[in-house]
């Protein structure tokens, strides 16, 4: 089977983590900006979005729910990529990386290192983000900053490697395949 025949659109979910947005005191701009970037740059199918407060148990529950494999029964989501925005800074309420770590089975620090490195030319503040990356089953989880600019710049910095990462997690990459940069 050819690579073209195997490729399916990436199924993604976007999680906004914000006390103010979840209470209706502010309008979520980061989540919709990430949805637009995922759809236009990666032709991703965004199957779920949600806005929740900075609450550890709610975050863990959302990451767990969306990383369950699709088993045909309707219980699992079959989501390839979870992108969260918010809760990666230094304030005491910023707990998204800690919550994601409760679900991530295999950490992948290199992805966020690459994003921060690529964003450094725009702002050194990129290194204030404690965002992490890793996989839970066959789902890749990325935790991005809460500002629309920070979130979209960091995601955009990874767009060239994300399709191959998702293919690898799906098991769609043969050992002798090498992907060229799009």
Distance between CA atoms of 145 and 150, rounded to whole angstroms? 6
pLDDT at 139 over 90: yes
Q: Are strands 139-144 and 81-85 parallel, antiparallel or unpaired?
A: parallel
pLDDT higher than 60, residue 4: no
**Residues facing 59 on adjacent strands:** none
Distance between CA atoms of residues 84 and 30, nearest Å:
9
CA–CA separation, 160 and 155 (whole Å): 10
Query: 3-class SS at 1?
Result: coil
Q: How far apart are CA 60 and CA 175, in angstroms?
A: 33
Does 62 have pLDDT greater than 80? yes
Percentage of residues in the chain having pLDDT higher than 70: 88
Say what the pLDDT of residue 173 is.
Answer: 73
Which residues does 130 contact at the CB level (< 8 Å), separation at least 6? Answer: 88, 89, 90, 94, 97
- Residue ranges of domains in the chain, CATH in brackets: 9-170 (3.40.980.10)
Q: Name the residue with higher pLDDT: 7 or 28.
A: 28
Going by pLDDT thresholds of 50, 70 and 90, the confidence category of residue 178 is: low
- pTM to 2 decimal places: 0.90
Write down the pLDDT at residue 76. 52
Question: Where is 84: in which H helix or E strand?
Answer: strand 81-85
């Amino acid at each position: 089977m050819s690579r073209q025949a195997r490729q399916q659109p990436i199924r993604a979910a976007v999680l906004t983590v914000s006390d103010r947005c979840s209470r209706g005191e502010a309008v979520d701009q980061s989540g919709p900006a990430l949805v637009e970037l995922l759809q236009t740059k990666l032709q991703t199918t965004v199957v779920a979005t949600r806005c929740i407060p900075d609450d550890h148990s709610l975050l863990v529950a959302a990451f767990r729910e969306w990383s369950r494999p699709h088993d045909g029964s309707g219980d699992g989501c079959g989501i390839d990529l979870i992108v969260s925005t918010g809760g990666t800074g230094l304030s005491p309420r910023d707990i998204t990386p800690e919550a994601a770590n409760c679900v991530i089975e295999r950490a992948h620090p290199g992805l966020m290192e690459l994003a921060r490195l690529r964003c450094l030319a725009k702002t050194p503040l990129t290194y204030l983000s404690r965002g992490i990356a890793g996989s839970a089953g066959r789902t890749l989880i990325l935790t991005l900053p809460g500002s629309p600019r920070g979130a979209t710049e960091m995601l955009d910095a990874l767009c060239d490697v994300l399709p191959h990462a998702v293919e690898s997690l799906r098991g769609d990459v043969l050992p002798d395949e090498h992907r060229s940069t799009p």
